Structure 1
Amino acid sequence: MKKKILIIVSIFSLLAVAGGAGLIYSIGHSSSHLHELIMLHQVEIQREHLLLNIHQVQEDLYSQTTTHPESAEAMKNHASKMETAIKDCFSCHHTQSVTERLSDLQHQIYQFKEALALSTRVGRSRGELEKAHVIGDSLISKVNTMIVLTNQKLVERTESSLQAVNQSKIIVLLLVVAGPLMVALFGFMTLISFAKPIRTLLAATKQLKTGDLDFRVAGLKHEFAELAIAFNDMAIALRERLREITENERRYRLLFESAADAIFILDAEGTAAGKIVSANQAAATMHGYTVEELTNLNIRDIDTPDVAQRVSERIERILLGEWIKVESAHVKKDGTVFPIEISAGMFEFDNHRYILAIDRDITERKRTEETLQRAEHLRTTGELAAGLAHEIKNPLAGIKVTMETLAEEPYLTQEDRSVLFKVVDEIKRIDGLIKGLLNFARPPKPQFMSTNVNAVLDAAAQLALQNRRQAEGVDHTIYLVRGLADDLPEIVADPMQLRQVFMNLLMNAVDAMPERGTIVLKTTFEKTLCAITVIISDTGKGMDAAVLSKLFQPFFTTKTGGTGLGLAISKRLIEEQGGSISIESSVGSGTTFTITIPCNKGKDVARDDGE
């Protein structure tokens, strides 16, 4: 459209310039014709004046034959005027042919003047007078001819001038009439060009106002087409923005509803301060209510009595801009009290202040903290026990040697000797307990090397069964079932520590089956994890949940005379090699230990130690 308008304006400007130029040219041309016409009139007047002077001289010449001849002085004056007139004819601009004719005419006038001088002298002859008459007649004839030609040219130039004037009139008339018509036509075309696109855009705006963001403007041209593209882009952007807002609202609603923590929106102002405005499903599940039931409660209704008394003070702190994070306690619908961690702050919506509170059930965390505290206490106790064991071990060795030496004395009775041997046995048991304490407090550093887990496990199983038979003196009916993987790769680990762990678990399995049973050994290789899994299970009496929860705690045992350090040490040794150990058991169904050992963890640890 802009180009079109520029083209039309340019055309109109060119037409106006052309019309003006034509008008100026026409006026100039007419003025030139008029000037030439005036010049021709002047030429005509000069030539007629010359003709009159020639006639006057000719009459003076004819008077010489009459009774009243003109005086010589008068004839001389008339001849001078004739000569002056011919000279005046040369003052105008003439063509070369006219100039030549005027020169010839001037020459004849000089001849005529000389002839006059001869004809007026005393004693003139008749031939001289006739010669003067002939020259005069010739001059009159030539001047008349020039006057006729001048009149003809004057008529032609007059007609040409009139035509030029008429053309100027026509041009002026055209400019006067055509100018307004062209302006009106331009205005009408511009109005049509603007009105239709504007109506189209107005209709599109009304469509957008109704919410139809899929409506698109089409059919426009030029700059309005660009405006239509911008309008369509705006509609697309609005639709995308609306989609984003809807998506964000849906996402936030999904986050609100699917959050694991309880989320409350509370009223923060007026008498309704603390009222639950909204809550997610996690809040309802956590407290044993439905969401609808929670929105009918005040936050004080689910606080413990002592916490409910501090709600107003917390709301005041939040309204001052503080974001609080405290531990508190809530009450479920069934009356159960449980610990929570509250994180709450203020936000405004529609000039009203609300509180966003996020509550997290920290029951498990509290249990974990208690477990960690208990583990720390056990670690401290173990380290203290290790120190005491170090101090006790040397004196105990001296006592043991002394008791053994005393037992060899020949004067002792058999009864006294038996007592001394029992003392030595108890000293050995104490020594074993001390060694267990030392291994638990400061386990030996693993000696990593290439290890065949199947070979270590099989050797430990054979030794455990053999030790059991030697200790009891009878052949236990215990079956050993092997399910060892053939494709098991060698790993980098400490074989002696693995053997100690396997022996400990196998001895516990044998002890759990006092008469008969089955031990199943199984190994697998997980290529995706690059780890070996060892499973040792038995068909013994099993354990309940209470025993399982304490099984790996130091000094916990269910066996008479046990130290309670075997499984704790085993767990620690496996973890030292980057692995893990877990247990599954139930009363009457036996026990299964699962050990996972990474293939290259030992290599990484050995490399770190070397660095």
Structure 2
Amino acid sequence: MFRSLRSKLIVFFILVTVIPMAIVGMIGYNSQKHEISSQLEYSIMSQSSNLSAELLNLIDERLRDVEWLTRSPILRDPESTPLELREELYNFLSVNDIYFDAILLNEEGGVIVDTETRMIGRNIGDREWFQEVSETGMKRMSDIYMSDAINRPVLVLGAPVYTHDRELLFYVSPSFNLDVFYERIEAYTTLQRTHGSDGYAFLLREDGLLLSHPNQSLVMNMNYFEQQDITKDDLNSLIDQDRTFTTSGGQVHAFTQVEEIQGFEHRWYVGIALAEEDLYASLDDLLLRYVAFYFLIFAVLIVAVIKLSDYLVKPIRQLVEKTKAYAEGVDYEWPYEAAYREADHLHVAFDDMTGRLKEREATHRKSTQVLEATDNGVFAVARGSEQLTMSNREFETLFGFTEMDLSSVTIQELKRESPFFDAFMHAALDEWTEFDKRNETRRQAEVNCQDQDGNERIFFLGMTLLSANGEREDLDEFLFVFQELTEVRRMERELVQSEKLGMIGQMAAGLAHEIRNPMTTIRGFMQLLEKRDDGENARYYQLIMNEIDQVNKVMEELMHIGNPARIEEETTSETSVSEQLKEIITLHEQDLEKRQIKVETFFNGTDDFLETNRNKLRQVFSNIIRNAIEAMPDGGRLKLRNQTAPGLDANGVCDVVVAISDTGEGMDSETIKKAGTPFFTTKENGHGLGLATTYRIIEELGGTIDIRTKAGEGTTFVIRLPGSVLRQTVNSGE
């Protein structure tokens, strides 16, 4: 704002002309505003005072009426009959039509004569005005109150009637018609309405109760003090200081107290209300005139400044347009109209500069194309601010920044955006820190990290210092060039692993015959012993021979473990999963008792028979159960559970799920990732082939294996195998 030449010229003229004139105008306006405001407030106060005087005259006239009535010869004659007295009261009412009733009361306040006869016999001696009249012996006007006899507001006058000898006969009390009283007050309201104003007059009692108001529903029902949140003292203070009061509704109220005279000692307040916008309308007109005058001056100055600035700014504007066009890549010869010498020199210098920049841009474009074409990731970071200054497409694609605007972002922001990039920079931090600390110009290293999916990634990283200014290191940049080696290193590891497995296969092939021969002999003797022994140990012979067969099968697997190709299909048979698990538990009974391990089996009533290779399945269960037992050297619980997965195919076949759980120490995340890798083991005397064989057998059988574990809480192996044929068996849960 105010950075252009034109805006500066406008501001200058405003400062030297408009502001001084505005100050003078504000002083004049405030002076007139104060004077007019005082006049307006004095006017409304005068109206309130005049209305108060009118009410006082009305009250005084009524007091004189009652005084005249007390001097009536008929009323003062003790011999006058009630009928004569009533007729005299009628004559009074006919002459003074602003009264609607008159009564005579005895000394106790009992009504003895009433022009309307409805009050005769009632005692109103408890009325405040009657007590004042009886105590003082003088005329009095009551306050306006709600009469319970006629159920409307009334204003009553009272005075004692004496004989010519000054003996008290009774009290006379004419009732004043409040409509006449209200008309005097509402005359002001009517006058204001005829002039298009919302002003009105109202009357307050000493306690703030409304005695008169254009809205009749508020009369005798609303307390002004409570409504406007002011006190009687506040109101008296406003009257003493000749001040007005502005309400929250935007009205200006002025008050005058009705003077007290003999016979009227009540404190009434006459109020005048005017809308604030009506009262100060003349001030608004004055302000509009001032504003219009200054806007006119301002418009004239703006026109003059624009004409002057056009001549000064036009050459500069042309130069700005040329600059924008060049920045947008538009190659166009712009015609230039000569102006003044300084602008002409500036245009010539700009044309020379753009010519040189075009040559540099062509060279830079070639470098950028080479950078984008390379398979290596490239990015540069400012040394001081760690802001990304350059990157290529390979960098953006690898770390997921293709949809992100990389202009003006820092390395920290990129790390928060991409966990993969965060891991990469964390792995390269030590090399980067050492590189910066030693002030080297070039450094190479191999870094390992994990991507967002938890996969290991390996990179060859090259760092180069790009020095911009030898005296200011904060302007230097670090250039990072990296190439992914993950696949290369994986292939290298697989090659080494293949060589290891090949050597194992050769060794296993040589040892197979040496191991099989004694196994064959042992199996033969076991068959012989089985025939001779008919005792309770007979069932163990078959188990031992099965295990010997299993050893032979393991040796075959060991010979083939160096070959990643699938083992040839063997004969399959219908195999009961629960029976397999029971046999393996029986085989490990002594070890389970020795380690004090409790076995819990949960086999469903609907058993699952698999059409599978019995020996391979047995080897899987045996390896996992043996590992579970070894994981609980101090005892624990071994849980075996089998169930069929929900859903059958068209042949009535479904999957079976077997869960084998222990309460051992569990596995950490690194152990889980390497589980099933040949030769990886956490046991001191382990060889790392058990789980490797298990994983490969499950894969050959078309199943899956999942490890669920938590360090310190145990491990559960969940095996899912296809091809279960449902059959009803006895529930074997223990």
- The TM tier, using the shorter chain, reads 0.3 to 0.5
Flag the structure with higher strand content. Answer: 2
Find the structure with the greater CA-based Rg.
1
The TM-score normalised by the length of structure 1 is 0.33
The TM-score normalised by the length of structure 2 is 0.28
